[in-house]
Every structure is written in C-alpha cells, then in structure tokens.
Amino acid sequence: MNDFPSLLIRPEGFQPQGAFAEAQAAFLQPDSKDVDRLSASLERLNAGVVAHYYMDPELQGVLSACDWPHIAISDSLKMADAAVAMADAGVGTIYVLGVDFMSENVRAMLDASNHQDVVVYRVDERAIGCSLAESAEAPAYAAYLRQASQQPRSLHVVYVNTSLRTKAHAHAMVPTITCTSSNVVKTVLSAAAQIPDVHVWFGPDTYMGRNLESLFEQMANMDDAAVQAVHPDHTAASLADLRGRFHVFRQGMCVVHHMFGADVAQKVRNDHQDAFVSAHLEVPGEMFALALELQAEDRGVVGSTANILSFIKTKLDGAIASGTKGRLKFVLGTEAGMITSIVRAVQERLRSHPDAGVDVEIIFPVASEAVTQVDDPELALVPGVAGGEGCAVEGGCATCPYMKMNSLDALLDLMDKVQDRAALAVYEPEKYTEMLGGESLAAVGTVSILHMRHFQQNEALSNELVADVLSREPAA
C-alpha cells in the first residue's frame, strides 16, 4: 500500500499529497459567487444553518466563508444547542445539514425550548440514513434491551446516532439517557457514582462500546489520582468494579469507522512514528488502542470530533508558545470532512504568528489509490472497496456516503423553492406522531435527550432519572 495521502497547511495556503487529499482540498477556497449567493439567501429568509463536521468540503468551505452570523459547524452534541441559540436570536427557519437523527434532535430541542414556530428542514426528500442508527432498529437491539429490562438497576446509555423512534421504544423498556462521543465517558462514570450497583447498557455502537471497555480497563490499572482527574468520584477499585456491570451491544457498526482497522493502525505505527495520532471513539479497536497508548504519552487523543480538533489546536498553540519550529503531523482517525474546520483553525493561528516557523500536516489514513468517482445521480459515494471514495481493503473509508447527500446545490435549490410550508413538508424531519404509553412517540423519544441536556448543564444525572432507575421493576 502506498503512503497515506496528506494535506500540508501553511498560513496562506495548503499543499495536498495524493488524490484523496486533493479532493478534500479542492473547495477549501470557495467560489465567492457561491458564498455571496448563500449569504444573501440566508438573510432573505432569516434562516440559520447547523451542519456537522462531516459535511463535504465544498459545502463546508462555502459555509465557513459566509459572514452571516447564524451558521454553526459542530459535532452532533452542539448542533441542537446552536439551533436553539439561533431561534432565541429570532431566526425563523433552520436548515440541518446532517443525517436524519440530527434534524430530529434539532426539532425536539426547539420544541422543548418553546420554539415550535421555528421551521426545520433537511435538504433531501429521501431519507438520509445512517448504518449505525439502522442497527438500533433491528430485532437484535430490541432483544438487547429486553435483557437490560430484566436486570435490576439498569440504565440504557444510547448513542445520539439513533432515531427518536429508537430512543422512545428504548426508554419505554429501560430508563434511557442519550449520549455523544463528547460526553459518554462522563455519563457512564457519573451513573456509576450516583446509582449504587448500576448496570449500564451501552449501544448501539459496538466499536465505541468496546473502546470504552478498553478505556475503563486502563483506568482500573491507574493510580487513584489519575482516575480522579477524569472523574472525582471514582478510584481504580470502583472502575474495576464497574467493568462487570458495563454491557455493550455487539452488532452495531458505522460504515465509515469500520474501515479503520488493523492494517491501517499497523502502518500508522510503523511509518508515522513522528506524528500525533487521533482516533474517534467509534473506530475499531486497533486504531483506538494505538491512539489510547499514545494519549498516555501526550502524543495522541481519543474522543469526539470536538476533542480531536481541540487537541490539534492545543498542540499547535503549544509549539508556537514554546518557539518550537518545524512541522507538526497529525493522523486523522475519523471522517475526512473535519478537514475544513481543522484548516480554518490552524490557519487562523498561523496567521496570527507569521514568524512562528511552524506548519501542520494532516495525514488521512486511507488508500489514495482507492479514490473512485461513482456515477450515480442518487448517491455519489458508495461505501466499500469496489466503489467508495477513500475506501480500501487495507483499511480506511474516510467519507460518509449519507452525510454527502447534503450538498451545496441541494441547500441552495431548497432555499430557492417557493416558501410554502405545505409544499416543503417533505423536507421536514419525521413527526413521529404515533402514540406510546399515552404520549406521542416524539415526546417519549425526547425524554432521553432532555436527560442528556440536564447532564450537560449540571454535570450530574437528574434526580428524576436516578429515581427511575431505582424504582423500575425488572420485566417479567
């Protein structure tokens, strides 16, 4: 396998190496006409945009260049909060660029914040799916939850990458709190600290669950001071005890992160010993184990997209402050769509310190020769070796085909349509109006998200959720 593609970032430009990196860099300097058109449309409609880091580089490039204040690019945790802030500022319409569970979460949080009048749109008439979310709709996940419901003191920690339908039916069976890759570690540890002998059932992301198992195992072998730096209410002994009560669903997978496997991790270990290594919590164990190992040496990071971006900025700031000159290298162990936000953050710092003598290289752990242009008007990117951008048997599938259903043309075309809400209803998130236990499915599905929001604001599980876990009787 040839060397990984990479993007060298300098204060006023960048230099891609390899076809995959060239594809990512093509739109980092967007067409000013597209920027002006998007800004004018958003202002005309009094609209905002919340987008995930995994959007395609053309769309992210234009969004990042717009001066309209109501645009936010973030991880899934902050997308709904950004939408609420936009609504608080008077925005009347919000376009969500992501997969469908993201627009559902935005809709749910706006409703919970008394912004029912704010309209939410997706940008495709078709379902914008997610292989991971779909795994939680399967009979195997229902069986997993039935098992949880038979165990006293069970808490279901469900990854945000699931539909409101999944969250609703789960909460009807087992007390449930939503989590993201940014807060899952603290959520699980807080649950174990607040609820004696709690059993935590995590799903549906199998890789993330296994990686959490590895993380907790590592923490159980650390000294108490190191453990308490992560969570003040735990010790190595309490982490060891938790391991027997932490359960992981074994059949949930993201098609993107699935490909960051053993061959890729070994190549990173062998050929990029001078690089910092990042790994999203969703990647397979080999890549995660390498980044976790290096994290202990302050040469790696494991966590969410936000954690990875923060790590890169921190390392660059440290090099500038210390006067260290040369090149900082980072292996990007997550979806390549992050590159736009990374470039913006890095160039902002480099331009502020023109004499620093530092540049940054982002290394994509994919096979550049596997870049394939798929001639499919319905879905331009297909995961897999035969025809997926950035995918190969050797490892690496760094772009999500579902996220790429969100395009600049789709967004602009939707904003140009006649603004008749009835005519545009097909673009709204699913309503989930069917009833469950006397309430709408949407209302029940929102409960676990509200529990997460309480946790984010208070750094503790709510008394309501704790009481629910303690009071529910095991299912017959």
Same domain as 440, residue 379: no
Last residue of a domain, one of 386, 401, 416: 401
Confidence of residue 132 (pLDDT cuts 50, 70, 90): confident
Q: Hey, what amino acid is at 10?
A: R
Same domain as 357, residue 264: yes
The residue segments making up the domain with residue 229 are: 131-251+434-471
Q: Hey, what amino acid is at 293?
A: E
In a domain, 1, yes or no: no
In a domain, 300, yes or no: yes
Same domain as 298, residue 376: yes
**Nearest of 174, 171, 133 to residue 151 by alpha carbon:** 174
CATH code: domain of residue 380: 3.40.50.10800
Confidence of residue 198 (pLDDT cuts 50, 70, 90): very high
Same domain as 420, residue 441: no
Q: What is the pLDDT of residues 230-248, one digit of tens each?
A: 999 999 999 999 999 999 9
| pTM (2 d.p.) | 0.81
Same domain as 173, residue 61: no
- Under DSSP, is residue 458 helix (H, G, I), strand (E, B) or coil? helix
Q: State phi, psi for 79 to the nearest 5 degrees.
A: -60, -50
The DSSP bridge partners found for residue 277 are 300, 331
Mean pLDDT of all residues belonging to the chain: 87
**Per-residue pLDDT at 92:** 97
Alpha-helix runs per DSSP H in 221-281? 224-230, 236-243, 262-271
Confidence of residue 399 (pLDDT cuts 50, 70, 90): low
Same domain as 308, residue 211: no
Confidence of residue 392 (pLDDT cuts 50, 70, 90): very low
Same domain as 120, residue 90: yes
Where does residue 204 rank: exposed (0-12), middle (13-18), buried (19+ CB within 10 A)?
A: buried
In a domain, 199, yes or no: yes
In a domain, 144, yes or no: yes
Higher pLDDT: 120 or 2? It is 120
The crossing angle, in degrees rounded to 10, of helices 408-416 and 57-65 is 60
Distance CA 288, CA 207 (A): 9
- CA-to-CA separations, 407 to 17, 96, 247, 318, in angstroms, rounded: 25, 12, 38, 36
Distance CA 319, CA 325 (A): 7
- Under DSSP, is residue 131 helix (H, G, I), strand (E, B) or coil? helix
- CA-to-CA separations, 117 to 20, 97, 111, 120, in angstroms, rounded: 42, 20, 8, 9
Q: State phi, psi for 279 to the nearest 5 degrees.
A: -145, 125
In a domain, 323, yes or no: yes
Same domain as 117, residue 38: yes
In a domain, 119, yes or no: yes
**Nearest of 238, 284, 287 to residue 258 by alpha carbon:** 284
Same domain as 388, residue 303: yes
Higher pLDDT: 379 or 68? It is 68
Residues 387 and 372: beta-carbon distance below 8 Å: yes
Same domain as 383, residue 267: yes
Instruction: Reply yes or no on whether the pLDDT at 432 is more than 90.
Output: no
Distance CA 94, CA 59 (A): 16
Residue 4 DSSP class: P
Same domain as 239, residue 284: no
Q: Per-residue pLDDT averaged across 307-320, rounded?
A: 96
Same domain as 439, residue 338: no
DSSP string, 55-105: S-HHHHHHHHH---S-EEEE-HHHHHHHHHHHHHTT--EEEEES-HHHHHH
Q: How many domains does the chain have?
A: 3
